Amino acid sequence: MKKSQNGPVNRRNFLKGAAAGAAAFVAKPAVAAAQEQRAAVAAAKPAEVNGPESGKHASDFMVDLFKSLGMEYMFSMCASSFIGIHESIINYAGNKNPECITCTHEEISVAMANGYAKVEGKPVLVCVHGTVGTQHAAMAVYDAWCDRVPIYMVLGNTIDATERGGEVAWVHSAQDPAGIIRDMTKWDDNPVSLAHFAESAVRAYKIAMTPPMGPVAICVDDHMQDGVTPAGLKVPKLAMPSPPQGESAAVAEAAKLLVAAQNPVIMTTRAARTPEGLKLMVELAETLQAGVVDAKRRMNFPTRHPLNGGVPNQADVILALEAGDLSNVTRAAHQRGAKIINISAGELFQKSNYGDYFRYAEVDLPISGDAQATLPSLIEAIKREMTGDRKAAAQARGAKLAEANRQNLERARTDATYAWDANPISTARLSMELWDQIKNEDWSLVTGWVNWPIRLWDFNKHYQYIGRAGGEGVGYHAPASIGAALANKKHGRLTVAIQPDGDFMVAPGVLWTAAHHQIPLLMIMQNNKAYHMEVMYFQRQALARNRSTEGLKIGFGLDKPDIDYAAMAKSMGVAASGPISDPKELGPAIRRGIEVVKRGEPYLIDAVTQAR
């Protein structure tokens, strides 16, 4: 932490000098004047402007660390507390790996990193500024925590109280910045040397990426960034641990239960962490000929696969794989004598304060381990248990499920015909106008709460769907979509989003980021002019008190004036059209939008829609 007396130009000394100069114009006590005189002498010492006397700048070494971790981007709202890293990315790394992506809010930075990680399977670097930036980021960190998404954060800070240059620096600094988000991170550290920072930077990556994944945070002192890299300091080696698997005897017992079952059902929320996980889920279902009930927090199972679906309340054995709240399922299962197997890494790492562990579920065979990592051994164990008669029973079961699946698709198509020509546009019509024009492309839908696409589209690749906000925080979708679109960009995929209007209004500045960095995304605003979920809660509350529901727009509506989303987009450099409430106009607008997106730019369509 010690700095050369003749070290490089120091921002804090510069500020001290300026403060001393300003102070000369006011009367001051003798002691204060003496202190300022000493400060002025220190500030007057010659400064080295071209670089450290030996070695490289500490923040250059930090960038070497981030490169070694495969960081393609730094998402940040610029700030003084990590300006050393920022400058090193520009002038030392040539703004490449990582490349700076300018965000207009720290919640945007982290939510973009969330969307990116769910497509690309790895984190980006997110830098945030001390107390204020970390608090802005907190909501998006919580979403990532609940959603088991690896987020890699560097929190800028000025730890040395004597180096905090003025009131702003003081209120932006903290003794323990990571404490703000500690309950929603897997790990954090506050390194006191560059060597310490190096080890913690690599350790943080390993922890974030080891299932169950989650956010991590490393505090970085701005003084440390200005230092010199000690001779001999190396980037620590990174070797990723294999993910934890279920214990072999328990896996064998699970296989026996599943093969013996008359009607096994698989339930999952986040089993498929990677494309390989999706393949394994298909192999598991086909080996067992069991239906898969996919809560779709990840792309766990193809929507048009004959085994997609199932009725847990009719199952005699339920296999839960990284599932969510199982308490209701287990209660119902035990009433009819059914068994529950749960394979999850959830209990390997959990914190107390937030309720993302749900109500206690009375599972019969709990297996702690990452579901995806356990699937190969489970599939093999099931194959070993499969006798001829069990195979025949499984095939008969699979045929029934396939027929039920076919009927579900037909029912969904019939349901979609209702209000097909409605104005405002039905959400089914919107979904199918979009599907019509992307179905032959290499597409990726990167927003959640999209019931019609899940019912009607053919999802079969892992990147085609990334779930929704883990903590259900409003404001996730727009930035996460743009982060996901950035990840899709290098793969040449067509990224589309059906964007809730209320969610968009939390952080609309992300559109400027998309325009500035030419991130191609077709965003269709689902403009229903209200926070409709809350409207429905209001109606329930009023009726429970036998009072009127006519005030349903008060405090819930997003109208009077209507928000002109196309104008908003254009003001930030994003081409746009709308508002469109006639469904016949939607198809041509989508066609125009796709042309723009294929040129590598974002496009927004403001579609005025039904509530749901």
Partner 1 sequence: MKKILTLLIFVQTLAGQTPAPPAAGNAEKGKATYMKIGCYTCHGTMGQGGAGARLAPNPLAAPAFINYVRKGGPNHSFLGGMPAYSNSIISDADLADIRAYLTSIPAPPPVKSIPLLNQ
Tokens of 150: 């690896």
Does residue 602 contact residue 514 with C-beta atoms inside 8 Å? yes
Q: How far is the CB of 378 from partner 1 (least distance, A)?
A: 22
Q: What angle do CA 73, 79, 82 make, to 5 degrees?
A: 65
Three-class secondary structure assignment of 375-417: HHHHHHHHHHHCCHHHHHHHHHHHHHHHHHHHHHHHHHHHHHH
Interacting residue with partner 1 among 135, 313, 368, 460 (CB under 8 A)? 313
The reply to whether 33 sits near partner 1 by the rule CB under 8 A is no
Which one of 97, 193, 368, 539 is in contact with partner 1 (CB under 8 A)?
539
Query: Site for partner 1 (CB under 8 A): which residue of 90, 192, 311, 399?
Result: 311
- Tell me phi and psi for residue 247, to 5 degrees: -65, 140
When the beta carbons of 557 and 600 are compared against partner 1, the nearer one is 557
**Choices 108-116, 129-137, 181-189, 311-319 (CB under 8 A): range interacting with partner 1:** 311-319
Provide, rounded to whole angstroms, the least separation between the CB of residue 304 and partner 1: 12
3-state secondary structure of 551: coil
- The single residue among 22, 49, 544, 554 that binds partner 1, judged by CB under 8 A, is 544
To partner 1, the closest distance from the beta carbon of 548 in angstroms equals 6
Nearer to partner 1, 205 or 452 (CB): 452
Among 540, 584, 591, 599, binds partner 1 (CB under 8 A): 540
Beta pairing, strands 443-445 & 494-500:
parallel
| Distance of alpha carbon 400 from alpha carbon 290, whole angstroms | 10
Do residues 528 and 610 make contact, with C-beta atoms less than 8 angstroms apart? yes
- How far apart are alpha carbons 382 and 380 in whole angstroms? 5
Among 546, 554, 560, 561, contact with partner 1 (rule: CB under 8 A): 546
Q: In terms of CB distance, is 549 or 571 closer to partner 1?
A: 549
Q: Which stretch binds partner 1 (CB under 8 A): 20-28, 75-83, 310-318, 475-483?
A: 310-318
Report how far residue 24's alpha carbon sits from residue 559's, in angstroms, rounded to the nearest whole number: 55
Task: Write down the least CB distance from residue 544 to partner 1, Å.
Answer: 7
611 sits near partner 1 (criterion: CB under 8 A): yes
CA-to-CA dists, residue 96 to 74, 192, 448, angstroms: 10, 27, 31
For residues 164 and 15, give the distance between their C-alpha atoms in angstroms, rounded to a whole number: 10
Minimal distance, residue 290 CB to partner 1, in Å: 14
* Residue 270, helix vs strand vs coil: coil
Q: Name the minimum Å distance from CB 425 to partner 1.
A: 11
For partner 1, the closer of residues 152 and 465 by Cβ is 465
Sheet with 187-189, edge to edge strand ranges: 99-102, 73-76, 125-129, 152-157, 216-221, 187-189
Residues 400-429 that bind partner 1 (CB under 8 A): 410-411, 413-420, 422, 424, 426-427, 429
**Nearer to partner 1 among residue 237 and residue 560 (C-beta):** 560
Binding span for partner 1 by CB under 8 A among 227-235, 355-363, 373-381, 538-546:
538-546
The smaller minimum CB distance to partner 1, of residues 115 and 310, is found at 310
Nearer to partner 1, 75 or 538 (CB): 538
Task: Yes or no: say if 129 and 82 are a contact pair by the CB < 8 Å rule.
Answer: yes
Among 45, 256, 584, 612, binds partner 1 (CB under 8 A): 612
Specify the residue, 157 or 431, whose C-beta has the smaller distance to partner 1: 431
Query: Shortest gap between Cβ of 488 and partner 1 (angstroms)?
Result: 23
Neighbours of 72 (CB within 10 A): 20
What does the alpha-carbon distance between residue 130 and residue 133 come to, in Å, rounded to a whole number? Answer: 6
For partner 1, how many residues bind (rule: CB under 8 A)? Answer: 49
Binding partner 1 (rule: CB under 8 A), the pick from 146, 255, 299, 535 is: 535
From the list 358, 549, 584, 600, which residue makes contact with partner 1 (rule: CB under 8 A)? 549
Q: Which stretch binds partner 1 (CB under 8 A): 127-135, 308-316, 334-342, 564-572?
A: 308-316
For 490, phi and psi rounded to 5 degrees? -70, -20
Between residue 239 and residue 298, which ones bind partner 1 under the rule CB under 8 A?
A: 293-295
Element (H, E) at 182: none
Give the single-character DSSP code of 578. Answer: E
Report the residue number, 108 or 434, with the smaller CB distance to partner 1.
434
- Nearer Cβ to partner 1, position 133 or 309? 309
- The alpha carbon of 174 is separated from its chain's Cα centroid by a whole number of angstroms, namely 26
How far is 429 from 410, CA to CA, in rounded Å?
A: 16
Q: Which is nearer to partner 1, 5 or 440 (CB)?
A: 440
Residues 431-490 that bind partner 1 (CB under 8 A): 432-433, 435-436, 439, 451, 455-456
> By C-beta, is 20 or 315 nearer to partner 1?
315
Nearest to 74 by CA among 483, 512, 573, 481: 483
DSSP assigned state of 529: S
Sequence-distant (6+) residues with CB within 8 A of 495 are 443, 444, 446, 481, 484, 485, 488, 489, 520, 521, 522, 597
- Site residues (vs partner 1, CB under 8 A): 293-295, 309-313, 410-411, 413-420, 422, 424, 426-427, 429, 432-433, 435-436, 439, 451, 455-456, 530, 532, 535-537, 539-540, 543-544, 546-550, 552, 610-612
